[in-house]
Structure 1
């Protein structure tokens, strides 16, 4: 076998061997936070001064006064001819808050929200039994992310989709 035969054999073996091993698709290096996120609806936000949330799941409960901050919506700024795209955040009138948990699973969760209104009176106590959602936002090879998001409005708490 000459040099060209050895070279052809080497190239063929390399191509066939590499085809047998799938290349790893990179996953984002994002840690999942065990958190219940609450969005106070735009029309209800002016009535809310403070918000207290209690979450119970798998026999454990956690509660805290939430730090509320203005919610935003992304405004598309378009893309340049070389494919660079951008967006900006704009206030949308909602309020946002998060309750950090020790762990978060897809098992049922019971939430209780209370707080004070802008005039200092007590907000109505709202409860919700729901199931956090699991999803594979970066593909199944990157692992399952569990999220628990709810919205509070004048009618009560509801899961946020």
Structure 2
């Protein structure tokens, strides 16, 4: 009887230990294979239309970008939670004077990208053609077990085109 009690006790302990293992939950978020372009606030008034060409691993994509107003997040704080536990928090977006657009480049890898921008000003006159070669950034925002996210972004200002920080 003691053997049965010992085996049953160990079995229950094993179930409790394995049942309490932390699981790996990864968010179901798809990555968009795009090169994001931001026009700096100080330069946004100089841009009427903008065309972007991006080449990677012998593949190129080119299009006139649909420019939209950019924004920055504004923290609105957190509500007090019961017993100092999880609390509802919120943020909102505030226009920041930039313009943003995206160019599909599928598949997007971590190989170098050559990006070239061209376009016109509000007066219809051509903007200077700007080119930059940069390496997209790879990150594991949800941990290595959830996969790698690759981001490619450039910033256009009066000085030229550069990799976004």
TM range (shorter): over 0.9
**TM-score normalised by the chain length of structure 1:** 0.92
Aligned counterpart in structure 2 of residue 157 of structure 1, from 154, 158, 161 = 161
The 5 A counterparts of 1:25-44 are: 25-44=24-43
* Number of aligned positions between the proteins: 159
Cα shift at 1:102: 1.8
What secondary structure does 2:142 align onto?
coil
Structure 2 residue aligned with 1:78:
77
Q: 1:8-157 to 2 correspondence within 5 Å?
A: 8-15=9-16, 18=18, 23-82=22-81, 83-157=87-161
SS of equivalent to 1:48 = coil
Q: How far off its partner does 1:103 sit?
A: 0.8
Cα distance in 2, alignment partners of residues 136 and 50 from structure 1: 34
Equivalence for 2:84: none
- Secondary structure of the 1:28 match is coil
Moved over 6 A (4+): none
| Structure 1: stretches of 5+ with no match in the other structure | none
Structure 2: any 5+ residue segments left out of the alignment? 82-86
| Offset, 1:23 | 3.9
Describe the superposition over 1:111-151 as per-residue Cα deviations: whole angstroms up to 9, x where unpaired.
11000101110000000011111110111000011110110
CA distance in 1 between counterparts of 2:14 and 2:160 reads 65
Alignment RMSD (CA, Å): 1.8
Q: TM-score, normalised by structure 2?
A: 0.90
